[in-house]
Amino acid sequence: MKPRYKSARSTIAVILIVSVIAGFAVNLYKIQVRDNEYYIKQNNTVSKYIVPIEPARGEIVDRNGNSLVTNRQGNSIILNAVYFPNVKDNEQRNKIIYNLIKLFEAKGEEYAQNLPLKFDKNGHIRFDGEKQDIETMKSADMLNLQPYATAKNCYDAVLEKYEIKGYDSETALKIGNIRYELTRLLFSYENPVTIADDVSDETVARIKEDKTAYLGADVQVVAYREYVDSTIAPHILGTVRKINAEEYEEKKDKGYNITDQIGESGIEQAMESELKGTPGELTITVDKEGNITEEVTKKPIQGNTVVLTIDRDLQVLAQNKLKAVCDKVDAFSSAGAVVVEDCNNGDLLAAASYPTFDLKDYYDKYKQLSTNPRNPLWSRFALGTYAPGSTFKPVTACAALEEGIINSDTTHVCVGTKEFFGQPFKCLHGNAHGTENVRLALKDSCNMFFYNVALDTGINKIDEYASAFGLGQKTGIEIAEASGSLSSPENRENAGGIWRIGDTMLTAIGMSDNLFTPLQLTNYCSTIANGGTRYEMHLVKSVIQASTGIVNEKSKTVSDTIDLSKNTLNNVHSGMRLVATSGGPSLIFDKLNTQVACKTGTSEVIVNGVKRNNGFLITYAPYKNPEIAVSSVVELAGSGSETAEITAEIINYWYQNNTDAKTNQKTGTLL
């Protein structure tokens, strides 16, 4: 008889063997029968690569739906690592690139040349690029050279790194440019690199016809930015460009690729997250035999449509009239800006800066534009800061009236000149205005009246009201803007200066340290016009979602509310109305069918050692039920009255030729 424990052990062993065999049988069934097709695919697949498909950027339209920025389809030439020779086969890579370069040059195509090196006319290699570009080229990720490496050192390193042999120096550098571009843009299976943009159909056909000579080169249909009129609102719309290395590091976790476009300035930059769109995905599969299949597994979604507050036709009119007036003042030196705002919600209806530029050839002419002494790239309406002159006087009037320093009947006698604290002060040109109340002082722009009022009111109260009107601070607009500065003892002392009582007097008439942008002047004028509500100025009216068509309207935002009494408003409004009917601009404004109120201003500047004046004008209309505010500045104009032509054209357009648009605004049928 066998021992019992041996019998039990045998039984357990048999059970284990049967269990293992059963397990194998189940797995074999899954592999051979149930999941047969899946495992066949898995067995044949060597690798899969996901290549992002860049979406078209969203469009930009005006408040009435008129297109400003759209897209057009074009062809770019990319190198695709899936088909391109292996990284170790430099000779073959260089040969294909050489073939492409010959084709590009024969067809007049531009191609990647971002290596900051070039040969001079004597055949010597030189650096050719910005300091940052040269530093990037020498960095560990690129050529791995010391900071003191010469251009010749860099050139030799390029030839060595990419094994460029058997070509003349110029050709070798051209090949090196494209090889460098592949390294710089992280060329890989998942990241094809564009080497030529917007090429002709003939070039596309040649590449498609000869897959051997151009192995790895492919044609990609892409969306290029297109402008309905590239001269309309360039400072507002802004520009786009390829993302740089620093931006890519910051944004790669947000879905950006090293080859993506990105907004550089203006609305293109401010609304980047809305305009960018959602990338698609191209899945590339390579099986064991080297067969390659491509499938779009995720379609790209175009960026959202951004609807601006500006009126296209009004914008064009403002630009054209601004140019005409500036050229009439001084065709070689004058410049200026004009801004139009809806008084009752902060919508920016138009904003022009002159001189200006054309978005179409911005990059081609960038060096010329950036070195132009008249600064056409500078947005004078948003970034230009000016001493506002007498356009500031309504602030002083509001402060004095509200604080009870003066009333409707308070008068001061102007004899043209007067000494204050032993210093001579005078009205413009020394004119004697006689007895002036606040309304007449605004009409005549009487410095003497406001000097006396300033001494009684004090700088703290004047600044308090000026701040409430938004002067010396940003308006909240989406694009880049300057803060400017409000004249005050604190700001003067922070700058290392000393505040004197005369500065209080000068501040009251818009001088001293006051520096404001035309945007701020318009917003301030709107606040006076509507009775004391300062709205955040904005350029974006709404955003239309590309995927759903849902319209997200931007709501108006109140930045501040000034509790101005009816008496204060009546006095200031009446004074500004007198400027329009009896002051310098009256010769022009009398011809309008729409009643307006305004305030002129001048500020002295020195040009080539000669004293000249900049001219300013703030205006609102209609007088009794204000809807729009306009501010204009023309450098060297001499007086604000000279800018009235611009304002009159704008008001005439808005109320005489824009009836359809105004009806749409009231019924809410705009985009």
Model confidence pLDDT, tens digit, residues 463-506: 999 999 999 999 999 999 999 999 999 999 999 999 999 999 99
Q: What are the backbone dihedrals phi and psi of residue 210, each rounded to the nearest 5 degrees, phi first?
A: -125, 80
pLDDT of residue 196 exceeding 50: yes
pLDDT of residue 376 exceeding 70: yes
Percent of the chain with pLDDT over 90: 79
Cα three-residue angle 625-630-635, rounded to 5 degrees: 155
How does residue 638 score in pLDDT terms, banded at 50, 70 and 90? Answer: confident
**CA 456 to each of CA 12, 267, 348: distance values in angstroms, whole numbers, following the listed order:** 109, 45, 37
Sign of the CA dihedral with 366 first, then 370, 376, and 379 last: positive
Beta pairing class for 434-436 and 412-414: antiparallel
What was the pLDDT predicted at 254?
Answer: 87
If you average pLDDT over residues 134-162, what whole number do you get?
96
Report which residue type is found at 375. Answer: N
pLDDT of residue 42 exceeding 60: no
pLDDT per residue as tens digits for the range 524-561: 999 999 999 999 999 999 999 998 999 999 999 999 99
237 vs 240: CA distance, rounded Å: 10
pLDDT of residue 656 exceeding 90: no
Cα three-residue angle 95-100-106, rounded to 5 degrees: 130
Express the helix, strand and coil content of the chain in percent, nearest 5 each: 40, 25, 35
pLDDT per residue as tens digits for the range 381-432: 999 999 999 999 999 999 999 999 999 999 999 999 988 888 889 897 788 9
What was the pLDDT predicted at 661?
Answer: 39
pLDDT per residue as tens digits for the range 288-317: 888 889 899 999 999 999 999 999 999 999
Maximum Cα interatomic distance, the chain, rounded to a whole number of Å = 142
What was the pLDDT predicted at 665?
Answer: 34
pLDDT of residue 592 exceeding 60: yes
Which of these, 628, 564, 569, lies nearest to 596 by C-alpha position?
628
Count CA within 13 A, CB hemisphere, residue 115. Answer: 28
Q: Tokens 């047969």 — which residue?
A: 36
Q: What are the backbone dihedrals phi and psi of residue 625, each rounded to the nearest 5 degrees, phi first?
A: -145, 75
Highest mean pLDDT among 27-31, 116-120, 246-250: 116-120
Looking at every residue in the chain, the average pLDDT score rounds to 91
What was the pLDDT predicted at 411?
Answer: 97
Cβ atoms of 527 and 470 closer than 8 Å: yes
What was the pLDDT predicted at 7?
Answer: 60
What was the pLDDT predicted at 355?
Answer: 98
Which region among 44-53, 77-86, 126-135 has the lowest average model confidence (pLDDT)? 44-53
Report which residue type is found at 330. Answer: D
pLDDT of residue 666 exceeding 60: no
Which residues make Cβ contacts (< 8 Å) with residue 668, sequence separation at least 6? none
Which of these, 409, 486, 405, lies nearest to 452 by C-alpha position?
405
Report which residue type is found at 421. Answer: F
